Amino acid sequence: MNTPLNAQVVAAFGRQYLVRLPDGGLLPCLTRGKRSDVVCGDRVEVQHTGENQGVIERIAPRTSLLHRSDAFREKLIAANVTQIIVVVAAEPSFSDELLARCMIAAFDQKLEVLIVLNKCDLAESTASARRQLIPYTAIGYRVLELSAKQDVSALRPLLQGHISVLVGQSGMGKSTLINALLPDAQAATREISTALDSGKHTTTHAKLYNLDEVSSLIDCPGVQAFGLHHLSFGAIEQGFVEFAQYLGQCRFRDCHHLHEPGCALLGAVAAGKIDARRLELFQQITANKA
Ligand SMILES: Nc1nc2c(ncn2[C@@H]2O[C@H](COP(=O)(O)OP(=O)(O)OP(=O)(O)O)[C@@H](O)[C@H]2O)c(=O)[nH]1
Ligand SMILES: [Mg+2]
Ligand SMILES: [Zn+2]
C-alpha cells in the first residue's frame, strides 16, 4: 500500500522514523539508501515493506524548514511548522543570544514567534528573567508567562490551528509543558532522566503530538547553540525586525554596523531607538560573515 504524500513523520531517531498513516496508525519506517534528510513534521509517501515496517519513498515539498548549521554540518529540527515557541525560564538562566538566533531563523522561514517564560512559580528569579525580555516585548514579540507545573491554559488558544515547535535550552521545561497540555503524552522530563542518569539532554529526539484536528506541537531536544551558518548577512539583518526601518540608511552600502561613520544602526542606538544589547547580539552573530 502506498500513501500518496499524506503520512506524517511524528518522530525521528537518527535514520529511523515513526510515521502516522492516514488511518491514524503508526508505522516504523526507514529511508531508502543513505538518505537522512527526513525530519519530524514532514509529509511523506511510505510503502509497507513488512508487517510493521515501512520505507519512506518521497517527501512532500515543505512549507517551512527549521534547521541549524555550522561550517561542518546541518541539523534539521522540524518541517512544515507554522509557529516557533521559544521556551525560556529563570532557572537555569537563559541565553538571549540563543533567543535572538531562534527569532532570526523564524523570520527567515516566516514563522510566528511566541516566547514562553516558564517557571513563573519561581517568583524571585523570574523578575530578572522578565527584565531580560523587555527588549523583546518592546519590539513587538509576544511573551507569555506561565508555570508548566501550575497552569498552561493561557497557552492553549495560542496553539490553535498551528503546527508549533518548542525550542530552547535544555531544562527550560519544554517536555513539562507537553505533559501539562497532553496528560497522555508521558514525555520524559528531567526528574525521570536524573533517575536514569541519561545525560544532559532529557529529550533525545523530536516528537510530534496532535492536540486536535488542526493543531499539533513538536517537542525537541534542548539546544545549546543555534548555528545560522546557512543564513546570509542580509538574512540576519532582517531577522532583527526592529532594524528594518534603518536598513539601507547607512552611509556605506556594505556597512557592517560595527563602527563605521554614518551607520544608521549605531545612530539609532545612540538615540535610544534600538536597544544596545540587540546591536551587540547582531555583531556577535554576524562576526564570521563577510
Ligand atoms: N518550578 C518549576 N519547575 C519546572 C517547571 N516546568 C518545568 N520545570 C522543571 O524543570 C526541569 C526541566 O524540565 P524538562 O521539561 O525536562 O525540560 P526540557 O526543556 O524538556 O529539557 P530537555 O528535554 O533537556 O531539552 C524539570 O525538573 C521540571 O520539573 C515550572 O513551571 N516550574
Ligand atoms: Mg525535554
Ligand atoms: Zn551601519
pLDDT in tens, 90-116: 999 999 999 999 999 999 999 999 999
Return mean pLDDT, the chain.
Answer: 92
Residue 199's pLDDT band, with cuts at 50, 70 and 90, is very low
Please name which ligand lies nearest the alpha carbon of 193: 1
Separation of 128 CA from ligand 1 center, angstroms? 18
- Cα of 264 from ligand 3 centre, angstroms: 5
Write out residues with Cβ below 6 Å of ligand 1. 118-119, 121-122, 147-149, 168, 170-176, 189-191, 201-203, 221-222
Please classify residue 170 by burial: count the beta carbons closer than 10 Å to its beta carbon, then call 0-12 exposed, 13-18 middle and 19+ buried: middle
The fraction of the chain above a pLDDT of 70, given in percent, is 95
Ligand 1 atom at minimal distance to the Cα of residue 166? 19
In angstroms, rounded to a whole number, what is the distance separating the alpha carbons of residues 55 and 46? 5
Instruction: State the closest ligand 1 atom to the C-alpha of 118, by its place in the atom list counted from 1.
Output: 31
Nearest Cα to Cα of residue 99 among 52, 64, 134, 53: 134
The torsion region of residue 119 among left (phi > 0), alpha (psi -120 to 50) and beta comes to left
Q: Say what the pTM is.
A: 0.94
Pairwise CA distance, residues 43 & 124, whole Å:
44
Distance between Cα 176 and ligand 1 center (Å): 5
How does pLDDT run across 139-178, given as a tens digit for each residue? 999 999 999 999 999 999 999 999 999 999 999 999 999 9
Separation of CA 260 and ligand 3 centre (Å)? 7
pLDDT of residue 4: 75
- Over range 59-75, report the average pLDDT: 93
Separation of alpha carbons 10 and 58, rounded Å: 16
CA dist., res. 128 & res. 124, Å (int): 8
Whether residue 51 has pLDDT greater than 70: yes
Cell of 87: 521556551
Alpha helix (H) residue ranges in the chain: 96-108, 123-138, 156-159, 174-181, 190-196, 233-239, 264-270, 276-285
In terms of C-beta distances under 8 Å and separation of at least 24 residues, what long-range contacts does 185-194 make, across chains too? Answer: 185/209, 187/219
274 alpha carbon, closest ligand? 3
Percent of the chain with pLDDT over 90: 83
pLDDT 10s digits, 212-237: 999 999 999 999 899 999 999 999 99
